[in-house]
Amino acid sequence: MRFYEYEAREIVKRAGIPVTDYGFTRDAAEAKEIAARIGGPTVIKSQVLSGGRMKAGGVQFADTPDEAQAHAVDVLKLEINGQMPRGVLVDPKADIAQEFYVGVVWDGTAKQPVIIFSPVGGIDIEQVAEEQPDKVGRRHFSNILPFSDYIAKEVIASTGVTGSDLNKLVPIVSKLAKLFVEKDMTLAEINPLGKLKDGSFVALDAHMDMENEARGRHKALLADLGVGDEETREAREATAFEIAGEAVDAMDHRGVAGNVTEFDGNLGLVIGAGGGSLTLFDAVRAHGGDPANYCEIGGNPSVNKACGLAKLVLQKPGVDKIAVMMSIVSNTRVDIVARGVIKACLELGMDPSEKIAIFRIPGAWEEEGFLILDKYGVEYADRSVSMHEAARRAVEKIGAAA
């Protein structure tokens, strides 16, 4: 879950890392007050989750409080990559001598967090790594041993930084590393980390991503920041169709029939499980099909949930037929899914043999499932028909219908 910059800065500040005397507001008049309080030139920054703010005109410089207000009016109206800003951050225009970079991420290969540090900050760290590899230091640290400052010292020193800069940077980098672990972040980044003309260091921007699975452990922090439980902060906001999919999955606690993502094709998909859905979605597209949605069923959902999901997909505008397909199931019962999707058709006054292009779920209780499908004239397949072949048949049918 991604944080807005104003939230990320608050997290950094709470960890004891120096930040500028910034202010956050949703109101242009208040932006003027903040600028007046700060005194001197300010920067007005749009608060969106998307990158590329500068390019889009979401970062403006003001010399006076009036100018700050005028910029805030514009920035608050400016949509960036499909997102309206949450508000603006009013930041003193710092007197910077040098920009540094520090970030902490997981390394899935080493299975440890890794600190990345560079005396070349303010730009994309991957670009620095490519162009000046000797200016980027990396240092893993243990998941079990308590964090110790020498680790921060080593990574900073490895980039050639020494003297009082080194000694001032060590506590900042250490605090960021500890914050990363304690707050279950998947990314904790300060870029740029500014060295001011007076030799002190201050965080000028911050990016934080918290692991979704760990949100429950940080309720107090999230409440303080005003992040609601309903805020998923996904890469794109959920559509009404997707929210309806979540409601289906929440009908009862048995199994999964959800994780719905909307696409704009004509072939509705009732597919599963995790890897099976990925495989089947690709297979439909490889055969020229145009999926109306992605979804996942698994873990033995109830008849009602399977029915609810199938209904949702069948009623989606533009959907001609649905394909019900899974990889071989061992803990989901074939007959229960079959009952669910047939019930969905009947309750909507649709003919199952017409609406279900193919049913390909082999595995547990398949004999019972196939009997039900036979009764309603639905085309089905067992494991002798591959997932790709089933997808091909579904696409062929819908092609014939169109």
Residues that bind other proteins (CB under 8 A): 106, 108-109, 111-113, 126, 142-144, 181, 184, 186, 211, 213-214, 216-217, 234-236, 259, 261, 272-279, 281-283, 285-286, 294, 296, 298, 326-331, 363-364, 383-384, 386-389
* Residue number with CB closer to other proteins (36 or 56): 56
Q: Which is nearer to other proteins, 51 or 199 (CB)?
A: 51
Kindly tell me which of 28 and 256 has the beta carbon lying closer to other proteins.
Answer: 256
CA 376, 314, 299, 383: dihedral to nearest 10 degrees? 50
Residue 28, token pair as written in the block: 């242009």
Rounded (10°) angle between helices 5-14 and 163-182:
110
Residue 86 vs 215, nearer CB to other proteins: 215
Residue 55 or 111 having the CB closest to other proteins: 111
What's the min distance (Å) between Cβ of 18 and other proteins? 26
Smallest gap from Cβ 326 to other proteins, in A, equals 8
- Which of residues 113 and 119 has its CB atom nearest to other proteins in the complex? 113
CB of 187 to other proteins, least distance (A): 9
| Structural tokens at position 121 | 């900050």
Least Å from the CB of residue 38 to other proteins: 34
Cβ 280 to other proteins shortest distance, Å: 9
Closer to other proteins at the Cβ: 42 or 327?
327
Nearer CB in complex with other proteins: 100/281: 281
Q: Least distance to other proteins from the beta carbon of 180, Å?
A: 9
Is the bond preceding residue 192 a cis peptide, omega within 30 degrees?
A: yes
Q: From the CB of 267, what's the least distance to other proteins, in Å?
A: 14
Structure tokens at 56: 């889009």
Report, in Å, the least distance between residue 293 CB and other proteins.
Answer: 12
Instruction: Please state whether 274 falls in left (phi above 0), alpha (psi between -120 and 50) or beta.
Output: alpha
